[in-house]
Amino acid sequence: MIFRRTLLVALLVTGIAPSAAAQDESPADVFASIERAWVVGSADAVVAQFGKRKVYLSLPDGGPSGGHFSRAQSYFILKDLFAATRTEEFSFISIRQPEEQPGNAIGLAERSFRRRDSSRALTDRIFVSLVREDHRWIVAEIKSVR
């Protein structure tokens, strides 16, 4: 019993297991977390919002043009994206939770960034969709659109 409790505490501290607070998060909380992580370029923090299922990623400016990726693959894709670009601004301008689909939430962010090998400023929109998984909101899709 003590071993289990110690293991659970260790998992919670390291962020491997979702905390009770994560289970109580609203879609807006998850979008805010993604926004903070994207601004600082933390692939770890973005992927912390992923669940067990594969995530659809379409990030043509520094990532794949589309496909379903595991959590580990997504980490490296985002890490490479953040290494290749410098985010100047990333903020969600719209968050919707459709009444006809209460287990889904969609956020639209505007992003300004520069490739590290260029001084030219670029902008795009990032769509992020969330779904419910095991009493928690998780990322299902991240898609860049110009």
Cβ-contact 133, 51 below 8 angstroms: yes
Is residue 127 predicted with pLDDT exceeding 90? yes
CB atoms closer than 10 angstroms to residue 69: 19
Q: Would you state the pLDDT for residue 144?
A: 95
Query: In the chain, what percentage of residues exceed pLDDT 70?
Result: 84
Is residue 26 predicted with pLDDT exceeding 70? yes
Q: Would you state the pLDDT for residue 25?
A: 84
pLDDT band at 23 (very low <50, low <70, confident <90, very high): low
**pTM (whole model) above 0.95:** no
Our CA angle for 57, 94, 29, nearest 5°, is 75
Cβ-contact 111, 81 below 8 angstroms: no
Domains and CATH numbers, the chain: 24-145 (3.10.450.50)
Give, rounded to a whole angstrom, the gap between the first and last alpha carbons of the chain: 53
What strand order describes the sheet that includes 136-145?
67-69, 55-58, 136-145, 121-133, 104-115, 85-96
Spatial distance between the Cα atoms of 106 and 116, rounded to a whole number of angstroms: 29
| pLDDT tens, residue by residue, 61-82 | 777 889 999 999 999 999 999 9
